[in-house]
Chains A and B, each alone.
Chain A
């Protein structure tokens, strides 16, 4: 009979409509937007429509998610070399970069002109970066990693979209916080949590090396610290003069107003998150 096919199709539509509310009924009387609800509705077995209210809510990205890279530096409270770069300026990341968006200036001894394994300057043009992740994959020192911060839009392309070393540097604890499993796997490969050079040095002298435990038994819980504030402090600690690339560095300076607004948003968010954590802990206790 003509029209049966259409009615059948409309049946599917009406089922979709109701499924959304049927799924809602499961959570009546429970805390709205709980992790369990979110997991269930984002899982493979879910049905009906479930919306995440971006930007008020954001789905946490999986560990391997890759966005514009950052440079790993030691934490500020590192006992031996706080704020020191993990990068040795070997240049492999610049060589494997398909769109060639990485520029590195290797440090030189001013007297002997011999290279020092440290970057004097490091630039990534994030307009060119295609987020392929080759730099992080092939870095032999685990010194460049792909970030999770995907909100890099800006009003001024020319001012802020070439990231310099200050802007790129993020502490190792940040990397452990965004990718605990991957960081743990890499640490197992290296033989310790430290930079590979330090581990080798310690092994030579016979000093104890902090070995990583099991990945899932002892998940690393990072302290909640504002990330961006570390950058200037860290730069001061290393005291690297960016003489060779001063011109480019000035071109890539940040706009203070934009930054302040960003910082404020970040702080608000942090406070909200802390409140939420406290609330959840209360609920469990």
Chain B
């Protein structure tokens, strides 16, 4: 121990390789390099995982666990592994470490005591892969329901409408046999229950068995009457069907009087096993599916996935990186998306506070204009599907223009550059200022938000919070600066940060970020003019079956809601697989919810909805 203390360099500042060196020195038997083709980081003996992780956090400074996910290597190694990406909140590349476990009776020690942010992610791995996490206090399914048979992300699990291992399916061409999905997936025959599952339990409607089954530990019968006020402990279900839960999301709240004692989020109502669909898909297909994650920010979802796959492609032969114009257009789209999202987030936060729809509608009036531009450029307002590996779908159109036809007759015709210039330099700043004037000083907003939903910086880091939630707590961590991608290094902007960690600061940070985005966009405009006519795509044209090298990649972007990461693994066919072996989405909405229970503890029940609104979740991404 003392030897480590007097080392000439402080260990928490050494680079990744040196950090791995220190780990290997400390745990010579338990830490090995990951030498598989295209892989990086270290493989850690699972027995010593907790000790090693403690060293990583406390001595090497990797205090922020961004992503934890599982991969099933059936048929390749016959083992499963947990993959962790740990970062420093001071910035830099990740320390990737993996713990392998056999497929039968698989278990990996829980890291919840070291990084509480793995809570939901370990539950997700337990749910979808069946990996047990000894030490996890609340190990139960999170996305699927209790009566689901099997673990759907395992490679040997097959869906009820299973057709083939990979798309494209043979039945489509040259002898296409058209049929409906429900012919394969007959109603009444598409559900299997686990052998030990008791269906009658569902009809048992006494509250105690339901909530005991949810691990709340609340015994409603044994009411807590020791308080002076003689208040009852009460379980209240907020949601799943409630407008202020931003979708189908449920919070089970235990109340003492009006004060919240525990809050447990229940999700998965919108779960469609996006990742499993993604593993049947070919590489390009997933681009269209990423639109459906956070459907307000489809442009930045696209970018994250494009970056991840480009990382893999760049290791193979014949790869050309995206052109400069492509990067400029990407940043233009992504920053416009950030404004769209923050306008929405603020509008909805005010809805949740009870200011019904006036602020929301003022906010989205300007959003319409951005969406008009998206529609003219990408072809769709929400499901943009605009980025490609190596560039973008098409260059900006010369004119935002429509022709009257039989179908519709209200025509418009704008010059694109003029339109976005006007948008960026006049309309959007005006809208942000107006929103600022409208809400920031309002005494009602202040009373409802200041000091509510407090999240201290250390807790935010520990719970892997990201985006405005993290920066609102005083941690200036922004992927655009911490691990820059695209052309962000050459752009001049500040990472917005606020220090009080309450709802009000999360609101202010969104206003700040919109202003920073506008600052970026103003620098993008001359770059757009300058690169006019240059190629928007690397190489000749997008290919529909890109050549992807073997290995793993983690692409992450600063999505408006937080860090969006894609962990992709390319395995199987050595000539370059046509499909991802693993496609994991580190969804900011999902992981930001880990801290929700913490933030709500001790608050009043009326504030829960506002706290949830200040996190800004989208259920398409939370449930995947």
Contact = CB atoms under 8 A, between A and B. Distances in A.
B398 A181 contact: yes
A95 B168 contact: yes
B203 interface: no
Nearest to A13: B358
Interface in B180-211: 180-181
A151 B406 CA distance: 12
A158 B182 CA distance: 11
A64 B406 contact: no
Interface stretch (B43-51, B66-74, B82-90, B422-430): B422-430
Interface stretch (B252-260, B310-318, B369-377, B484-492): B369-377
B401 interface: yes
Interface stretch (B129-137, B241-249, B379-387): B379-387
A181 B379 contact: no
Nearest to B414: A43
Contact of A131 (B377, B380, B406): B380
A45 B380 contact: no
A92 B406 contact: no
Residue among B410, B412, B414 with most chain A CB within 10 A: B410
Contact of B409 (A115, A125, A276): A276
A92 B544 contact: yes
Contact of A95 (B173, B406, B439): B173
**A interface, by DSSP: helix, strand, loop or mixed?**
mixed
B446 interface: yes
Contacts of A266: 406
Most buried by A among B176, B394, B402, B441: B176
Contact of B177 (A100, A103, A134): A103
Contact of B402 (A12, A63, A115, A123): A63
A200 interface: no
Contacts of A44: 369, 414, 419-420, 422-423, 426-427
Contacts of B105: none
B394 to A, nearest CB: 7
B444 interface: yes
Interface of A: 2-6, 8-9, 11-13, 16, 35, 38-39, 42-45, 49, 52, 57-66, 89, 91-92, 94-98, 100, 102-106, 115, 121-123, 125, 128, 130-134, 137-138, 146, 148-149, 151, 158, 162, 177-178, 180-181, 222, 224, 226-227, 244-245, 248, 252, 266, 269-270, 273, 276
Contact of B441 (A9, A91, A95): A9
Contact of B443 (A2, A63, A66, A276): A2
Contact of B174 (A59, A91, A158, A252): A91
Interface string B251-291: 00000000000000000000000000000010011111100
Nearest to B366: A44
19 contacts: A9-B438, A9-B441, A13-B358, A43-B422, A59-B402, A60-B407, A64-B378, A89-B174, A91-B174, A94-B172, A97-B168, A98-B288, A100-B169, A100-B172, A134-B284, A181-B398, A227-B406, A245-B177, A269-B406
B530 interface: no
A94 B170 CA distance: 10
A227 B414 CA distance: 28
Contacts of A52: 410
Contacts of A8: 437-438, 441-442
Contact of A60 (B167, B168, B379, B409): B409
Contacts of A137: 393, 542
A224 B444 CA distance: 57
Contacts of A60: 402-405, 407-412
B104 interface: no
A35 B369 CA distance: 18
**Which of A59, A121, A128, A224: most chain B Cβ within 10 A?**
A59
Interface string B213-241: 00000000000000000000000000000
A103 B406 contact: no
B345 interface: no
A12 B361 CA distance: 13
Contacts of A132: 287-288, 383, 385
Interface of B: 167-169, 171-181, 281, 284-289, 358, 362, 365, 369, 372, 375-380, 383, 385, 393-394, 397-414, 419-420, 422-423, 426-427, 434, 437-446, 542, 544
B375 A133 contact: no
Contacts of A94: 168, 172-173, 176
Contacts of A162: 178, 180
Contacts of A180: 403
A130 B383 contact: yes
Contacts of B284: 96, 98, 134
B281 A125 contact: no
Contacts of A178: 403, 405, 407
A123 B178 contact: yes
Contacts of A58: 407-410
Nearest to B424: A44
A6 B444 contact: yes
Given A6-B443, A38-B410, A181-B398, 20 more contacts: A4-B441, A5-B442, A8-B438, A8-B442, A13-B358, A44-B414, A57-B410, A59-B410, A60-B405, A60-B409, A64-B377, A64-B378, A95-B173, A98-B289, A100-B169, A104-B172, A104-B174, A104-B176, A115-B174, A177-B403
Contacts of B401: 62-63, 181
A106 B406 contact: no
A62 B365 CA distance: 19
A148 B441 contact: no
Contacts of B285: 96, 98, 134
A177 to B, nearest CB: 6
Given A104-B176, A248-B179, A133 B385 contact: yes
B544 A16 contact: no
B397 A63 contact: yes
A282 B388 CA distance: 48
A133 B288 CA distance: 9
A91 B438 contact: no
Nearest to B427: A44
Contact of A125 (B180, B393, B413, B446): B180
Contact of A91 (B173, B400, B402, B422): B173
B51 to A, nearest CB: 44
A12 B438 contact: yes
A227 B405 CA distance: 11
